[in-house]
Structure formats: structure tokens, C-alpha cells
Structure 1
């Protein structure tokens, strides 16, 4: 038997080869198209994860600077792909976490009233700048194109794309009259796939603020940035600060604030590598500088960030003490004379010493500086120059720790003119030996112009009190006439039952009264022949008819308080050809009314309104 021409197995072999070819083609297609897509999704999810971790790191840095808390935050630098049996993965995606190098933050301002002279002298003589760095994360993905680089600096997390910069968090540098700046120090340089921890530690915790104001110009904050597109970043900061002027200049974002206002500046320094120190910069008294023998004198040593320094050495006429956990040192002079508390050795700058005058005169059985509370911050007025009729705020921090030790129970203010009031506890109740107090919206209507010496007094539970004077300048109001302050609110003016209801708004700081009125012209868009309305009756005026062309007529009110609205009802009265009354007419769309009003200061204003 011959099998030479037998082809019965060929179709099976051919079919198997074709199926195997399709399998190889499908696997190749999956490898080329689907594996990269799936890996890109994994990389995108990792990018989102790192963004969330960066926000946690930002919060940890701000917490360290404001409260002194320490919290380690992990950053997952890269990501790995799932195991694939028949397919190939690229190497794991990696990323780098690095600091960008130190640049200086500047605050161009002058120290305002309420701060000790040593604070002002240190600021003026040293022109302090605060070196800081940024933290940047740069991903190195295999598939995800256009992934953002992340950057932390100055309280914000910025996402840098190739063509845009977006902020992933709010800024906390400027909030109302508060300026909070955290300088970042240390070096980080990590590259890889695994998680790396960043441990922000406070070097100088923000526990004191100082008042600052413009020195004949704006208060300017200069923030160095590591963002490549500074213009785009400037726009983001401008959107965050609509009441400030934000510009860019040579790799910095410059924030200009109203220099006539007073701001509270709080500074802190945070390290991200476990290193860094802060040094004594200046000293301020925390007791009276005129005391008697037997009373303690005390000082607080502060660093360039205006925060207390623990363990600093203080000398008082040959006696040396180290500052306690509050950055303070106390001495008890045993003889009358001048005592000089110094830091950083003798013969230093004026702001490195405080002079105390100790006398023999007693003060009622030894109740003296040791038992009295002190103002550790303030008191201060914001603003300290006020136009008569406007308002200002008072604030202070009162400290009784290490002194009387009892709770602060009361705080008041008063001036020689008889103006007075109380300051409330910011936390809601007087129940601590350290209290932040404030009195907001103090109205100066009726105050005399000139310098007012305001005495702020705080009292503790033992009846011991401390007082300090601050100056508030009241300037003459340059307010224009009442007529310039009364606006016709077109958006709220309407037709009601054929009458025109005109809404006026009093933008003046005092009440105003409508005294006289005159109808200049009433132009009815669709007047029927001889029935042209020539008069209007105002209900609030007591139905006084104001005829077109007549002179100003006396009217009865109304009186409108400052900031309030009033609705005036104007009812047209039609006449016939002979001038006799033809009955009431209706206000219609297209009608135009022009009338003059005189107010109680004698000023006049003419208003015109066309019904839309």
C-alpha cells in the first residue's frame, strides 16, 4: 500500500499553525497596547497618592511651626507593576525627593507701636532675612506622560505641569491682618522606588507676633520660589489674595499689602533633616523696668524669628541665669541702682540689653513686679491711625506664668476723654494665667481729633494689675457732603401698582434726612395727547405734590440711618390741556423722571432714572 499522495493530516497542521499565529499576534498586541495602558493607570494612581502625601507633609510642616508638634510623613517615591506571567514589564517607576537650595524671605516693613523698643531696634539695625528652601518631588514614569512635579514652599503645594502651575492647597501666609511665615531648613536628596520619611521638626516655634506697618509705603513680603514658571505662580497667588498686589521679580513672588494698616507678623523655622539651631538675637523685659529692692526683674530672650529661646544665658550685673522653658530669666536685685540684663556678652548692640532702675522705695508690703501679670505681646491698636467716625481694634497677650500664677480675670481700656470699654478673652472665657484678649470695632464717632493715650489694664485673680499706654491718632474726617453719599439703587428701583418705587442707599457714616425736593422733569414715553403727567406725589413726604418746574418744596423726611436703604414712592398725577387735574397716571416702561433732593446738611443732588 502506498501513502505517497495521502494528504489527510495537512489541514490539522495548517490549522494549528494558524491558531498559534493568532495567539502570538494577540499576545503581541496586548503587550504593545494594553500593558502600557494598564501601567499608565498604575502610575497615575501613584501620582495621586504622592500628591496626597505631599499635602500631609505640608500640614506637618505648618503644625511644627505653629504648635511645635513633630510628625513623620512618608513619601512613596516610586511604584511597582503587578507580576505578569506571559508579558513583560518595564523597570519599576521611580521618583526623586529633593530640597532646592536656600533663598531669603524678606519682609519690607517697620515695627509698629505696641512692641518694645528693642524689637524695633533689632528689626531696623539688622534688616533680618529668613533663609528657606523648597521641597520638590519629580516622578520618572515609564508610561504616564505629563505627570506634574510637586513643590512645597510657603504653605502651598504647587503642581507644575509643562504648560501650567496649579495650587493644590490654600496659602496661609496672609490671613486678614495676620502674616504667618514658616522658613524651611535642611537638605533632602532621595531617589528610588521605596517610601522615604520626612520628619519636620520645629527649630523656632511661632509663639510671639510683632506689629508691623508700612514705612511710608506698602508692607511687602518677598517670597523666593523654585517654580519654573514664576508668571503662572504669580497669577495663582494673586487669585488667593484679591486685596493685595502680587507681582514677580527675578525668581520671587512679591506681595504688597496696604501700608496704612497694622499687621501681626508671626515667624517660625522648621527643619526637615533633624538639624538646625536658633540663636539669641534680642531681649525684652517681662517685668517693670522701675522696681524696688525685693522685687524680681525678668527678661525674655528671643531669636530673629521673635520667639523665646530656651537655655540662653542672661547676665545681670555679674549674676548669670539661663532662660527657662518659656525663654525667660528672673533676678532679684538686693540693692538699689541701675541693673543691666545682657545677652551674647557685654558691649553688644542696644537691643541685646535691658536696663532696670531699682530703688529703695517700697510698694505696699512687697507686692511688686513678681506678682503682677505682664503684657507679653502688645497691647496694640489696629490700625493706630483712624479717621474720625471709623473703628479700630485693640489686642494683647497677658502673661501671669511664673509671677502671680493665678488666672487673668479682667482686661479694660480707657482714655482721658472718657471713652472706655472691656477686652474679651479670645478663647471665650478668662480661665487661664495666659490670655489673648481683644476688643474689636471700637467706634470713634464723637471722639476728638488728635492723639489719644489709651491705657490698657489687665487684672489677675489676686487683684494684681498691669497697665500700659498706647497711642491712637484720630484724624479729621474728609467726608464729602451727604448728597455724595446717598445713591439711587437702580437695580432695586421698580414699578408697583403704577407707582415708581425708588430705592436710596445711605453710604454715609451718619444718618441723613430728606429736607426738600423738586421735580425737574417727568417725561412720559407714551403720553396720550394732552394728558402729560406733570406732577408726582411722594408718600413718605406726606403727599406733597411736586409739580414740574416748581422750586424746591419742603418735605417731611424720611431720616435714613447710616448704611440703610429707604424706598420713596413717586406717584404721577396727570393734567388736562387747561392744567386741571386729570386724575392719576401710571408709570410705564420708558418713562424718565429727573428730580432734585436737598439733605439736612444743605447739600443737593439731582437724580435721573429711566424705567427699563
Structure 2
């Protein structure tokens, strides 16, 4: 007898169901991995582009500050980015972004001339063209999802993003701002890639920037020829409506030309910044007399001749040796000086005869000055400069036996304002110390003083104060260009000290604007004093402080 064993189908449906659910789950995960995750990652990449653009706007702000102030600064750029962590899904590698500079390019500023001796530089090649080097700063990233990823570019202060289907501008810059021309140039061979953040050290190469006055040559218009990847239509949008712009065109795919009305005067300001640490500062290239470029002095009196050495970007250069040949002057001749942090030197000149005289400065032969290697008389015009002296035959100290031996600008933060009673003096306000020396055998009493004039390139002060060597008030509220002040005047507080024979006495002079605020004296300023002594002798002093 045989027993029949029937099959048991119980539980099959549950297994099949589980397999189906698992398959659906796997399919769903695959769809999410293939579609949702890339979409989310694409959004991360788009947000990262916006973050980089914001970081590079901050870079422009830092670059502008470095160009204006001359001090190194740094700024962070979020070069790369990552994706959110996902437990069941895979992410591509982190995005890496690169900040780099292009190869060196040449900017041309054509048909331009400058005021004064600075034009010797502009006419150095007889074409009135300036050729200046620059590089473009660029950012790009290797995005995994975004296909239309931009190249972000920075040139001359303009920040923009080039996409395959168009361009957006993040910062318009101020290349043309009314009658101001502002150009920030870049230097340095820089290329850094990072998947996180990188810090960009922005160094001054030619800074702080100085403004010089320029205009077109003859009837020619000024042309700015700028290497650029920004489309012509965008340049038109930026500067086409400016009243000084005559034309904008692109003669080639990588150059824009902006033509300016040559009959107008412009303030040209150029500077150069660098990424990285291996870029030397610009060398000296030409020399000019420092503002105002002229001084008045009497025979036997002393005036300070000042000069400034500049680079190709018209900004001051320090540590350049300058030789000065003084005209019929007492003391050492010629003399040599090294430019200070402001690119300037100061040389006292004591002419011995009257008339219009010139103190001629020339850049010495040295490795950090281009093209100024010949003898002083045959150097290129840009390597020489003349400071004009108007020498009168008015004798300084005629028989008075008192000479002005020194003058200097001094900041006096130690002054106790309440003690001297001069409320307009702030802790950082400067004064001019003038030292007088009695050369005769007798003491000299000062009977009266007149402040004849104050010369400056801008509006001058209206009143002055004179303090004794202990900074007690001698004479206050002297009107500049006014009358003589004597002991009978209310302004004569504690009278100038007696000048002792064989000694030097220093007085401090303070100056005030029309609103009563203290004036900060500049090195280019000078003033004239007339002093009457007790022996009825009179002396005139030209005070030009260092």
C-alpha cells in the first residue's frame, strides 16, 4: 500500500511578495541615485558658484584697499565644495576649484600727455603711449553635475562670469568714473587648486596709487586698449553712456578699446597688485619735482628742494638714490639722497645770488631703475627733474646776527592742551619747529613779528600761533598776512623768549583753518616770517620744514 504525499504551497506568496518589494525598493533607490541625488548635488554646485562670486567680490574690495593704501591683505575664497552625507547613496568626489592668473598681457594707453615734468615719462618713446603689464585673475571648477559652469574673471576692477550661453557681471568696477580713470592691474604667476578654501594674499606691487592729470595729445582722443574676455555689449552697458566716452569697440576677440574725449582733462590712477609672494615691487622709472615744485627764497636763505621718484604706474618708489646739483649754493654740491617710503627726498638749498635758479636732480645708476644709466647731463629726460627757486635779493638777517638753522614738522602728542590753553590742538596735530641761532656776541630781543604769508597747494590757514621752547604761548591768533604784533597787542601773551648769544632757540608754530580747527602741515608747505629786533634791525625768514 502506498501513501500519497501532496505538495504544500503555503508561504509561497509571502516570499514572492518580499522579493517584489525588495525589487521595488532597489529600483526606487536606483532612481533616487540616478535622478534625485544628482539634482540635489547640482543645487549644491549652483550655490557654491554663488558663494565663490561673493568671495571674489570681497577679493575686489581687498584689492582696491591694497591698491589705495599699499598694505598687504588677505581674503578667503571657498574654492571647492562637498555634498551632503547620504547613508544609502553614493556621492561623487568633492569639487575642486582653481584660482589662477593668465599669462602677462599688455595694456596700452595711447595719445596721452601729462602735466609738468611727468610728461617726460609719457613722451619717453616719442609716441605718447604707455605700455603697462597686467594679468587676468580667473576661477574655474570641475563640477560633477553642472554642465554650464562659468569661468569667473577679474580684470581692472571688473568681476564677471563667462557662461557658455552668456555673461553676468558681479562688480562693475570704476574704470571710467566721470573724468577719473581707475585701473587696477594684476601680477604674479599664480595657480592654486583646492577642494576646500584657500587664502589669497594680496600684495602691493605698485601702491599706494597716485592720481596724475592727463589729457589727449593735440587733437587726438585718448584710447584705452585693454585685453579682455568681456563681450563688447557688456562694455557698452558699463561705460557707453559716460559723457567722456567717444567710442567702444572690440578690434579683436580678446581686446576692448575705449576712446575718451581728448579735449577733456582726466585724473589717471593706476596701481598693480599681486597674488603670491614671489613678485618684486615695481622699480623706479622717472623723477619729478614734488608738489608744488617751486619755492621762493632770499639770497643766503635756505629752501628745501623736494623730488619724487615714481614707477611705470606713476606711484612712489622707495630706496632709490638721487643726485642733486644745487645752483650756486653754499654747502656740499652735489649731494645724494635715498628716497623715503613716500618716494621722496628733500635737499636744503642755499642760493648765493638772485634770479630764477634750478636745482637739478637725477636718478643714480643702479639696478632697480630702468634706463637711467648714463651721466647726469645725458640721461633720458624722465631720469632728470628740476626744482625751481625764485631767489630774491632781499637779504636774510641783514646785520641782525640771527639765522634760521633748522625747521621741521613735529607731531606733539605729549602737549597738555589745558596747560597751553590752545584748544584746537589734537593729540595728533603737528607743529612746525623753527630753530634760530644767534651768531653774534650779543643777545637779541624780539620786539615784533609778522606772519607774512603761508604757501600751500590748497587753501591755506588764516591764523597762526607761536609758542616758546617750553610750549608756553608767546603769540596767539596771529593773522597771516596781517600787521606786526608787539607787546602792546592782546595776542602777545608771553612774548617770544630772548635769543641768547651763542645758543639755539626753538619756537613752535601752529596753524588754524577758518573754522578754528588745527591745520596739519605738509612738507610741501612753507611760510614767511618778518622779525624786528631790539636794535632796530629786521630779518625775513623763509621756513620750509622737512
The interval holding the TM-score normalised by the smaller chain is 0.5 to 0.7
Q: 1:458 to 1:299 in 2, by over 3 A?
A: closer
SS in 2 for 1:35: helix
Distance across 2 between alignment mates of 1:12 and 1:194: 50
Distance across 1 between alignment mates of 2:280 and 2:157: 20
Alignment map for 1:418-567 (pairs within 5 Å) = 431-434=519-522
Q: CA RMSD in A?
A: 3.8
Cα shift at 1:102: 1.3
Distance across 1 between alignment mates of 2:340 and 2:456: 22
SS in 2 for 1:351: helix
Single out whichever of 186-195 and 25-34 deviates more from structure 2. Answer: 186-195
Distance across 2 between alignment mates of 1:327 and 1:277: 13
Q: Does 1:230 align with 2:250?
A: no
Q: Aligned residue for 2:78?
A: 76
Would the aligned equivalents of 1:297 and 1:370 in 2 still touch at CA under 8 Å? no
Q: Aligned residue for 1:329?
A: 345
Distance across 2 between alignment mates of 1:86 and 1:3: 46
Q: 1:212 to 1:334 in 2, by over 3 A?
A: closer
Distance across 2 between alignment mates of 1:132 and 1:142: 32
Instruction: Pick the aligned partner of 1:298 from 272, 284, 306.
Output: 306
Distance across 2 between alignment mates of 1:10 and 1:232: 72
Q: 1:10 to 1:355 in 2, by over 3 A?
A: closer
SS in 2 for 1:190: strand
Instruction: Pick the aligned partner of 1:411 from 454, 459, 479.
Output: 459
SS in 2 for 1:47: helix
Q: Aligned residue for 2:248?
A: 246
Would the aligned equivalents of 2:52 and 2:77 in 1 still touch at CA under 8 Å? yes
SS in 2 for 1:125: coil
Count how many residue pairs are aligned between Structure 1 and Structure 2: 403
SS in 2 for 1:332: strand
Would the aligned equivalents of 1:283 and 1:301 in 2 still touch at CA under 8 Å? yes
Query: Alpha-carbon deviations, 1:450-506, whole Å to 9, x = none?
Result: xxxxxxx9876989999xxxxxxxxxxxxxxxxxxxxxxxxxxxxxxxxxxxxxxxx
Distance across 1 between alignment mates of 2:211 and 2:28: 68
TM-score (norm 2): 0.65
Q: Aligned residue for 2:420?
A: none
SS in 1 for 2:173: coil
Q: Aligned residue for 1:121?
A: 120
Distance across 2 between alignment mates of 1:408 and 1:289: 11
Distance across 2 between alignment mates of 1:316 and 1:410: 27
Q: Does 1:273 align with 2:281?
A: no
Would the aligned equivalents of 1:136 and 1:149 in 2 still touch at CA under 8 Å? yes
Q: Aligned residue for 1:580?
A: none
Q: 1:7 to 1:145 in 2, by over 3 A?
A: same
Distance across 2 between alignment mates of 1:197 and 1:428: 47
Distance across 2 between alignment mates of 1:165 and 1:62: 23
Q: Which runs of 5+ in 2 are unaligned?
A: 326-333, 366-374, 398-402, 410-429, 435-453, 461-512, 531-540
Cα shift at 1:53: 0.7
Relative contact order, CA 8 A, sep 6+: which one is greater? 2
Would the aligned equivalents of 2:323 and 2:364 in 1 still touch at CA under 8 Å? no
Q: Does 1:185 align with 2:193?
A: no
Instruction: Pick the aligned partner of 2:173 from 165, 171, 174.
Output: 171
Q: Aligned residue for 1:416?
A: none
SS in 1 for 2:123: helix
Q: 1:176 to 1:23 in 2, by over 3 A?
A: same
SS in 2 for 1:298: strand
Cα shift at 1:371: 7.9
Q: Aligned residue for 1:282?
A: 286
Cα shift at 1:432: 2.7
The structure with the largest alpha-carbon Rg is: 1
